[in-house]
Structure 1
Amino acid sequence: MASIVAELLFIPAPGVGHIMSTIEMAKALVNRDQRLSVTCLLINPPYSVFALTAYLKSLANNTIKRIRFIELPQDPTPPKLNPKAPATSFYEFINSHSKYVRSIVADMLNEAGPCRLVGFVVDILCTGMIDVANDFNLPTYVFFTSNAAFLGFKLYIETLCVDQGQDVIELSNSEGEIVIPSFVNPVPMKVYPALYQAQDGLDFLKSSIGKMRKAKGIMVNTFLELEPHAINSFYETNFPPVYPVGPVLNLDGVARKADDMDVLSWLDNQPPSSVVLLCFGSMGSFDKLQVKEIACGLERSGYRFVWSLRRPPPPEQSYEVLPDDYDDPGVVLPDGFLERTSETGKVIGWAPQVSLLAHEAVGGFVSHCGWNSMLESLWFGVPTATLPIYCEQQMNAFEMVVELGLAVDLKLDYKMNVFNPDGKMVVVTAEEIETGIRRLMEDENVRRKVKEMSDVSRATVVEGGSSYASVGRLVQDIMSNIT
């Protein structure tokens, strides 16, 4: 075997979806070329979350060939997360680790041996680290954990702000539609991410895209066959090269809890494609009123279900604590719901989502439309009904339903500002839930398209596939950094 000569420094953001897909990307690179190795710097999250803690523990216990993990120290008093400026304060929290990164890089560059540090790979939320890489004259690649259409949206908004001096805040709060080069259809303002309707979020967008312009390349967790229009839209810009490298998925899921086996055993006894899975990500939870509407709609639909129901954090801690499992979900569900649905449904806490989507009994997925979840649903050929909650999820829902025809519209513009629980809430009614679930389970056209895209998503990452070729070009570029 050839000796290892090129080492990459990976810096993922401390969020479940971000860190899992980033580490899968690291695995894909080292598996592709024996001359590559990775040092991954782990930032402890500013909040506690079961899945992330379990996953980080599993990394410590599992040796991955040519990938090592270093846990970064944290300042005794790290920057506080500010609910009034969530994006900026999170960015400051990440950047507070820069001095520790500088120290590690200096040590790596001084080490004698066959390894040569040839570049950084940073998460979209860690673009401040590009300045650290530049201090050492090292190139940076950004791993964009969402889709190409959304990257195009961010680039377009930054251009409107910086180059054209438009009042984007006013635009974002208007009615009507906006024409964005990375989307085929005009995008309705109702799906514009709430995060970027405030100055704090807009400042973060401008800063991160400005930093990304200094990168040597952008890896996007998507594939050419899924987003041909969005990917091609970058060829007419002066943005760094975009490499579609997906789907990059953690198909092992996270460490399981004992009661996960209970729900999987229950699924073993259900007919194929008969069960609806409702799961809303690590930050997805609903108030009591919305929970009751979901329960009523679910019961009225008559379909079998598995529902991952999480308890919202207390309002005063909404930015410091993530949703947790209920000790007794019956306290928020309609009277008698658990008894009436005991044969046809399961209400659980944190869900082993990958294991559930992979199960042949699961035939539909009501989702918050996080991008990892969308890619998992396509991989396993399970159609989605959209119930987006925060960040870019409304745009993901719009892309999946309107642009690609790979999901059904339960609600495209549901928004819950998880960083501002006092904000105005919209309630999705039981009727909307029931109608959405029926369409999800009965729309044969969407089901057929999702099955076809499932085959494509699996073919694209193996030899001869477009993402396989894209990763090959990326590796060539990385190896060219050895001087």
Structure 2
Amino acid sequence: MKKAEVVFIPFPAVGHLVSALEFAKLLINRDNRLRITILVIKLPQTAESDVYTKSIPISDSLNVINLPEVSLPQTSDPGSAMNALLDAHKPNVKQAVSNLDVTTFVVDMFCTNMIDVAKEFSVPAFVFFTSSVAFLGLNLHIHTLFERDNVDSTQLEQLTELSLPSFANSVPTKSLPSAVIRKESESFFMSYAKGLKKADGFIVNSFEELESHAVHSFLSDTILAGLRIYPVGPILNPEPKTKDPIDYDDIIKWLDDQPPSSVVFLCFGSRGSFDEDQVKEIALAIENSGARFVWSLRKPPPKGAMIAPSDYPLSDLGSVLPEGFLYRTVEIGRVIGWAPQAQILAHPATGGFVSHCGWNSTLESIYFGVPLATWPIFAEQQTNAFELVCELKMAVEISLDYRVEFLGEPNYLVTADKIERGIRSVLDKDGEVRKKVKEMSEKSKKTLLEGGSSYTYLGRLIDYIIDEV
């Protein structure tokens, strides 16, 4: 039997890579007529992707090829550096797939310039979109406004809100991603969204039960209709293998001793960190709320450095936190560095999640039935926060418009009283939000099983790929 050969090109960032690997496993477990080759792009001077790719069970159906490393151009603009990196990899991609009988390309949402390679091989290319259906609709619609109606980011920024087909409510301009409201990001956004529009379809890490309005907009709206979308999520990341399990055994043991749904978990993703003024406000809020807590507190990178936050040495924690904080909260909480997020969210003691609203974290939170309190930082997190609070009513608000521009400063300090209100509200045992999240949690577990909407969409996608053979 001839297998349909699908080539995956994930974006070289952990969240994107892990989702792509999980999705690849989902495909081959569902249908043995598929064979998947994953082309791994490595960022210069990083080894974090190795941890994930080395743990994949290589088989007749799944193959991983590490592309040769290329050097990154020296530029302070991450968008153009990324594009240059991907363009430099095009010959490597062609070389890697030249002896494969490729049926379909699946490229990450940030690797759309690889669609050109798919076109050279005359095969369809799908975009693997690791954010929400609503956000996909936002990108496509705003690109059309810019291109067709000559709107630009300066005009957008002057509006108070914008009506978008993939959202039931008007979206406040301050909840739009920086890329569409900052003049200096406009050319990056235009080339990015133009790239999306070259795709033959979109595989989205979301599910119809969660985003029914947004999914429906792709059938009914004039701009979006005719674009194929396959919401096949939630594709969740199992626990990353980056840390020794011993490191966090004691956190899980501590949670075992806490009452059900009593602990608030504060965690802001792999890139989230705060300056000392903001850390003090968070500490004050936690202490005033009296809530049990697990707080993943990360040390910001040096000013102007494009590296991820790190863990504080224990000896430094005391000086960052208010004097005596660790001593006074020793019975009710834990301050940790890197956190095993999925395991903490899955624990019955965890009752609320103060989050940056990255899409992977959002899906994990819903899957495990833990309500969120929103505190977005950058990328599309403000839009996710708006969708969670105002559209889906599955989160409480700490902020919807806090943001840190790339290598810049935050737009304001979130005060302790605002954070404390969010903590109390997200832990409310009888809250409407908790009820809604629990219901959606059930649906998120059923949607990938036979008869569920994601199961059905995945079947349609596979049929399309097999028909190409």
TM-score (norm 1): 0.92
Residue 315 of structure 1 aligns with an amino acid whose one-letter code is K
Residue 323 of structure 1 aligns with an amino acid whose one-letter code is P
Quote the residue 2:118 is aligned against.
133
Aligned 8 A contact 2:53 2:64 in 1: no
In 1, the alpha carbon distance for the partners of 2:444 and 2:203 equals 17
Aligned 8 A contact 2:72 2:81 in 1: no
Q: 1:79 aligns with which of 70, 73, 81?
A: 73
Residue 51 of structure 2 aligns with an amino acid whose one-letter code is A
Q: How far does the alpha carbon of each residue in 1:316-339 deviate from its partner, in whole angstroms, 9 at most, with x for none?
A: 31x2x1111111222311111111
Query: Percent of aligned pairs with the same residue?
Result: 48
Quote the residue 1:189 is aligned against.
173
Quote the residue 1:274 is aligned against.
262
Quote the residue 2:250 is aligned against.
262
Aligned 8 A contact 1:277 1:365 in 2: yes
Point out where structure 2 has 5 or more consecutive residues left out of the alignment: none
Q: 1:93 aligns with which of 80, 85, 88?
A: 85
Aligned 8 A contact 1:123 1:144 in 2: yes
Quote the residue 2:234 is aligned against.
247
In 1, the alpha carbon distance for the partners of 2:348 and 2:133 equals 30
Residue 55 of structure 2 aligns with an amino acid whose one-letter code is S
Matched length: 462
Q: 2:451 aligns with which of 461, 464, 483?
A: 464
1:291 paired to 2:286? no
CA gap of 1:163–1:369, structure 2 versus 1, over 3 A, is: same
Q: 2:312 aligns with which of 299, 323, 326?
A: 326
In 2, the alpha carbon distance for the partners of 1:49 and 1:72 equals 13
In 2, the alpha carbon distance for the partners of 1:172 and 1:392 equals 16
Quote the residue 1:111 is aligned against.
none
Quote the residue 2:55 is aligned against.
58
Give the CA deviation at 1:46. Answer: 4.5
Residue 474 of structure 1 aligns with an amino acid whose one-letter code is L
Deviating more after overlay: 347-356 vs 328-337: 328-337
Residue 80 of structure 2 aligns with an amino acid whose one-letter code is T
The DSSP-based 3-state class of the residue aligned with 2:445 is helix
Q: How far does the alpha carbon of each residue in 1:446-472 deviate from its partner, in whole angstroms, 9 at most, with x for none?
A: 101100000001111100001100000
In 2, the alpha carbon distance for the partners of 1:304 and 1:444 equals 18
Q: 1:219 aligns with which of 203, 228, 245?
A: 203
1:481 paired to 2:468? yes
CA gap of 1:207–1:92, structure 2 versus 1, over 3 A, is: same
Residue 38 of structure 2 aligns with an amino acid whose one-letter code is C
In 1, the alpha carbon distance for the partners of 2:321 and 2:44 equals 31
1:150 paired to 2:142? no
The DSSP-based 3-state class of the residue aligned with 2:438 is helix
Q: CA RMSD in A?
A: 1.7
Aligned 8 A contact 2:402 2:410 in 1: no
Q: How far does the alpha carbon of each residue in 1:75-106 deviate from its partner, in whole angstroms, 9 at most, with x for none?
A: 2x3223x33x2222222223321111011111
Give the CA deviation at 1:4. Answer: 4.9
The DSSP-based 3-state class of the residue aligned with 2:254 is helix
Quote the residue 2:384 is aligned against.
396
The DSSP-based 3-state class of the residue aligned with 1:125 is coil
Aligned 8 A contact 1:400 1:407 in 2: yes
In 2, the alpha carbon distance for the partners of 1:239 and 1:327 equals 53
1:177 paired to 2:161? yes
In 2, the alpha carbon distance for the partners of 1:35 and 1:302 equals 55
Runs (4 or more) in structure 1 with deviation over 4 Å come to 46-50
The DSSP-based 3-state class of the residue aligned with 1:342 is coil
Give the CA deviation at 1:239. Answer: 4.9
TM-score (norm 2): 0.95
1:425 paired to 2:411? yes
The DSSP-based 3-state class of the residue aligned with 1:226 is coil
The DSSP-based 3-state class of the residue aligned with 2:233 is coil
Residue 52 of structure 2 aligns with an amino acid whose one-letter code is Y
Give the CA deviation at 1:196. Answer: 2.7
CA gap of 1:411–1:65, structure 2 versus 1, over 3 A, is: farther
Quote the residue 2:63 is aligned against.
68
Residue 118 of structure 1 aligns with an amino acid whose one-letter code is T
